[in-house]
């Protein structure tokens, strides 16, 4: 009676952690927006399926965020960019979240994705990168 219950519980805990993960690492040496949570759901990604990225962090300095760029690269080839306009000023020390909803590519193979926040002059406020295989 006890063992099946334990197995069911373990499966439940495992599947929950597998569907949501904080992944990747900073690709900006001195970011002014420090990311402390970068969650991709569902994880691992499924080909052609819509997925969400939830980013949570803090602005070290006052910043005007013009755009959020999403870049993806297949087999170390060219970067393909999409962006969303933000046009929001954030106070020094303020906490802010960003969400991205995007469709996973269809080709099998290794990918690298990069999310970055940009100022008016296109300089980077923050950058985050992660790899995956489809």
Q: Is residue 95 close enough to count as binding ligand NAG by CB under 6 A? A: yes
Nearest residue (CB) to ligand NAG, 27 versus 96: 96
Backbone angles phi, psi at 12, to 5 degrees: -65, -50
Interaction between residue 58 and ligand NAG (CB under 6 A): no
Is 22 a binding residue for ligand NAG by CB under 6 A? The answer is no
Question: Nearest approach, Cβ of 13 to ligand NAG (angstroms)?
Answer: 21
| Alpha carbons 80 and 105: distance in angstroms, whole number | 12
**Minimum distance from residue 95 beta carbon to ligand NAG (Å):** 5
Under DSSP, the state recorded for 43 is S
Angle at 76 between CA 117 and CA 102, to 5 degrees: 45
Decide whether 96 or 102 has the Cβ nearer to ligand NAG.
96
Position 30 contacts ligand NAG (CB under 6 A): no
- Based on the shown chain and the rule CB under 6 A, indicate whether residue 97 belongs to the binding site for ligand NAG: yes
Give the nearer residue to ligand NAG in terms of CB position, either 97 or 123.
97
Closest CA to 131 of 112, 116, 115: 112
For 72, 83, 116, 124, the CA distances from 30, given in Å and listed in that order, are 22, 22, 13, 10
Site residue total, ligand NAG (CB under 6 A): 4
CA angle 32, 22, 40 (to 5 degrees): 100
| Residues found near ligand NAG in the complex (CB under 6 A) | 56, 95-97
């Amino acid at each position: 009676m006890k063992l099946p219950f334990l197995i069911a519980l373990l499966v439940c805990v495992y599947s929950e952690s597998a569907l949501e993960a904080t992944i990747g690492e900073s690709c900006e040496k001195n970011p002014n927006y420090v990311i402390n949570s970068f969650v991709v759901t569902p994880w691992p990604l499924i080909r052609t399926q819509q997925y969400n990225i939830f980013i949570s962090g803090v602005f070290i300095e006052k910043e005007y965020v013009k755009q959020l760029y999403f870049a993806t690269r297949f087999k170390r080839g060219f970067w393909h960019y999409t962006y969303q306009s933000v046009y929001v000023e954030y106070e020094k020390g303020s906490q802010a979240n960003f969400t991205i909803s995007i469709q996973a590519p269809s080709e099998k193979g290794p990918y690298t994705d990069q999310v970055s926040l940009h100022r008016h002059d296109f300089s980077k406020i923050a950058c985050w990168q992660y790899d995956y295989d489809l």
